[in-house]
Structure 1
């Protein structure tokens, strides 16, 4: 047995190993460690210590290394295995990040000075972690057997990175579906254990099953660890795709694999336009959730019986998880957990992505027609609309516009005054609304019944007049939280439902809803504070009920979504600024200042929170985690400078934006454009 140098306890070795392996094409890090450990006749755990991927004596290899290793870990791995840094980085799924957003992650040190790292999705897109399989693992037996080379005959072929992606369900090279289970013990591959590699302290062939064999219950009772199954997965018979209808699914797989290839074009034709591959992947995610939520509406697009039946079984299993038992009865599982988690069964995946690709393929009108029955089936499902609102923010503009337009047509907002107490039919509807939200598990506020306004007439950031009159001596709570919570509660008064639904109607993300409503709820535990807030909200509601010409803030928010000051208007504003401040360096007032001014105009026209402006949110999504949002920083600096230096060019610009904002608001309200 080959013995490598032993590092001092608590340290890692950075010395090159006596022998190494060149990574195979598309090989992922766990498979590479298994093959190299087998060649060196070492356990995977020992090899991880020698390569610096695991500290000495740690219980397991962190699963996060499947997606990304830190710069130090990459350097140690490259030095120990005689690889280039690029070869070491290519072993992780983050090498696919530019085309596959779920693999785009960043690492952060643990808080409190603790050793270790934690991982976060770089784009801050919720729930994308479900779209990378860490366990169980799919595989192609023929690929694991390797080629005719001596090294692959001894140590097997590659465990491929792409097998970790839900979009990959078949092997075009061997024309077979991937499999997830061992043919001997029928257990999922890679599902046991808490680290990157199951049984890291055992020397096994890279293609051997590491699941526990025999009677695991009896072994546990005897306080003995059951041995590994040990079956050679590379000897299993592949599930060959022979039937003519299934060859269409194989063609879909070839198309998806081509998109993920580094040398392929950066755009793909979808819904009649060219979109970035990363956006197309997120389109598939959104459409896949819609297909499963409305199943069997899209059954005809899923392919022949084997594919449709497997997808139907998957959907039925997920729906059975909708209400799960708890200590206090049954509770409802979140929508995203049910319908956003991709299937692990390759046959169900084949049906799901065949249908999704079929919906997105073609011209815009054709794709919209295919989406129509699915959207109609779920237009009144609040959970799906909330999921679609979050997911569509990062998908392609074509799909986002189609979904928004069709949903607005299918789910009309409640007309003003439709929920008056004198309307008996509306009272019956309110009872139904209460029952619906209780069934969905929402925190419910039932409409008060006398509101002649709805969410369109409520400003996202409550007016200064209301705030100054209601809370002249505010203490103990942030004004931002109070304004935001008051707006949310007014929407709940008029429309009903949960605070998250109300926040979504105002354009407030769920995280911001929680960050404001939770501290306000604690603040209102004081009866005096609670009475003041309730009285202030009721007073504002009475004002809205008695106003004959309400402002449609919802229309303003929609009209200015993604809007920036046109270049001609900006040059006109700058010329007036230079007239008052002729010594201003105009080179400092180009595109960055134009975007900053656009946010200020948006906040003034919509009476919105500048932190939630579409341009600010888009900038935050583009910024790397941990980096400063320069647009927010610029806004803070501009407001501070305007307060401290009233005669400065910045203060003059803000003054010029006031009449500009008023004119723009009048144009939007009268339908004469932006």
Structure 2
């Protein structure tokens, strides 16, 4: 049973686009308490060591009422441009269209997914019982039993690819669909079609690698696919992870761009391309077999694309 919420002595107003974890991190830093303690006092968690990850998707009316009362926010207010934006959690978001750069997903010091350690993926904030960190510091564990603490907002010397104008335009299109209140069939169909094609592209990669002209991004997805296959070879889980979008923003951009270009093909050409990918993939996994002719469709305008 969750404890009754306790009004906080001070609070903060959610910034535009801010996620709930981002708001909790900012409040905890201001009040010099752990994020877990803030969550417990605001009715979001029973224990300071675990904030349920389901809160990222939605706050149920009782949870929202308790949180609003404890933080002195208007009841209609939703923790929604802050340090940690909600849209960055979405698989289809891979670039910042304000600064025209790819998002970063790895800590520059520990080189692990930011706030994504295996032990904390079902929690809203990893190691929520530990305070003293700024919202922009890494909360991944370090080898010495503490937390990494690296500053995630500092520039690094790592050379990163820059998104092309076409990739930025694609991201803008995705963001427009994500930001619309239109729940009609065309909007839903656009994402459903993209998800299905992305799964087929993933399952048959690298057969579709020539579809996108973004060679550097295609290479990033090829590297991701190789790591995925290596993990699958050593795992007892026999279910293919074809519907998983890569955590790497550049690999995700390659997948979404390739899938979107395929969706711009007329129906018969799309069917032919997918059949070709499947055939090449099958031949590639037969010992001694050559992959066969290259599949290289040319995209045409189509209403189903982004």
Question: TM-score w.r.t. structure 2 length?
Answer: 0.81
Q: Would you say 1:197 and 2:125 are equivalent positions?
A: yes
Which of 334, 343, 347 aligns to 2:239? It is 334
Aligned to 2:104: 179
What is the deviation of 1:15? 4.2
Cα 1:297–1:11 change in 2 (3 A) is closer
Which of 39, 44, 57 aligns to 1:53? It is 44
What is the deviation of 1:323? 3.9
For residues 31 and 136 of structure 2, the distance between their equivalents in structure 1, rounded to whole angstroms, comes to: 16
Cα 1:367–1:39 change in 2 (3 A) is farther
For residues 71 and 150 of structure 2, the distance between their equivalents in structure 1, rounded to whole angstroms, comes to: 28
CA displacement 1:374-418 (0-9 Å, x = unmatched): 234437999xxxxxxxxxxxxxxx98xxxxxxxxxxxxxxxxxxx
Deviant stretches of 4+, over 6 Å: 379-382
For residues 325 and 60 of structure 1, the distance between their equivalents in structure 2, rounded to whole angstroms, comes to: 28
For residues 262 and 273 of structure 2, the distance between their equivalents in structure 1, rounded to whole angstroms, comes to: 12
What is the deviation of 1:14? 3.1
Indicate if the aligned counterparts of 2:204 and 2:281 stay in contact, CA closer than 8 A: no
CA displacement 1:435-457 (0-9 Å, x = unmatched): xxxxxxxxxxxxxxxxxxxxxxx
Q: Secondary structure of 1:87's partner? A: coil
Aligned to 1:73: 63
Indicate if the aligned counterparts of 1:20 and 1:36 stay in contact, CA closer than 8 A: yes
Aligned to 1:227: 146
Aligned to 1:209: 138
CA displacement 1:338-391 (0-9 Å, x = unmatched): x111111111011110111111236xxx25413422234437999xxxxxxxxx
RMSD: 2.7
For residues 361 and 380 of structure 1, the distance between their equivalents in structure 2, rounded to whole angstroms, comes to: 22
The 5 Å alignment of 1:418-567 reads none
What is the deviation of 1:294? 1.9
What is the deviation of 1:58? 5.1
Cα 1:283–1:86 change in 2 (3 A) is farther
What is the deviation of 1:254? 1.1
Indicate if the aligned counterparts of 1:359 and 1:371 stay in contact, CA closer than 8 A: no
What is the deviation of 1:322? 4.5
The 5 Å alignment of 1:140-289 reads 157-192=82-117, 193-194=119-120, 195-201=123-129, 202-213=131-142, 216=143, 219=144, 226-237=145-156, 242=162, 246-262=164-180, 275-289=185-199
Which of 8, 26, 33 aligns to 1:17? It is 8
For residues 207 and 280 of structure 2, the distance between their equivalents in structure 1, rounded to whole angstroms, comes to: 16
What is the deviation of 1:28? 1.0
Structure 2's unaligned 5+ residue stretches are 283-302
What is the deviation of 1:51? 0.4
The 5 Å alignment of 1:287-366 reads 287-324=197-234, 326=236, 333-335=238-240, 337=241, 339-361=242-264, 366=266
How many residue pairs match? The answer is 279
Greater CA radius of gyration, 1 or 2?
1
Indicate if the aligned counterparts of 2:83 and 2:136 stay in contact, CA closer than 8 A: no
CA displacement 1:307-346 (0-9 Å, x = unmatched): 11011112222333454455xxxxx6213x2x11111111
Q: Secondary structure of 1:85's partner? A: coil
For residues 124 and 2 of structure 2, the distance between their equivalents in structure 1, rounded to whole angstroms, comes to: 20
Indicate if the aligned counterparts of 1:212 and 1:229 stay in contact, CA closer than 8 A: yes
Which of 26, 30, 48 aligns to 2:21? It is 30
Structure 1 or 2: larger helix share? 1
Indicate if the aligned counterparts of 1:303 and 1:354 stay in contact, CA closer than 8 A: no
Indicate if the aligned counterparts of 1:303 and 1:351 stay in contact, CA closer than 8 A: no
For residues 2 and 246 of structure 2, the distance between their equivalents in structure 1, rounded to whole angstroms, comes to: 41
Indicate if the aligned counterparts of 2:83 and 2:135 stay in contact, CA closer than 8 A: no
Q: Secondary structure of 2:93's partner? A: coil
Question: TM-score w.r.t. structure 1 length?
Answer: 0.39
For residues 43 and 279 of structure 2, the distance between their equivalents in structure 1, rounded to whole angstroms, comes to: 52
Q: Secondary structure of 1:230's partner? A: coil
For residues 198 and 280 of structure 1, the distance between their equivalents in structure 2, rounded to whole angstroms, comes to: 33
What is the deviation of 1:32? 0.7
Ranked by relative contact order (alpha carbons within 8 Å, sequence separation 6 or more), the top structure is 2
Aligned to 2:273: 373
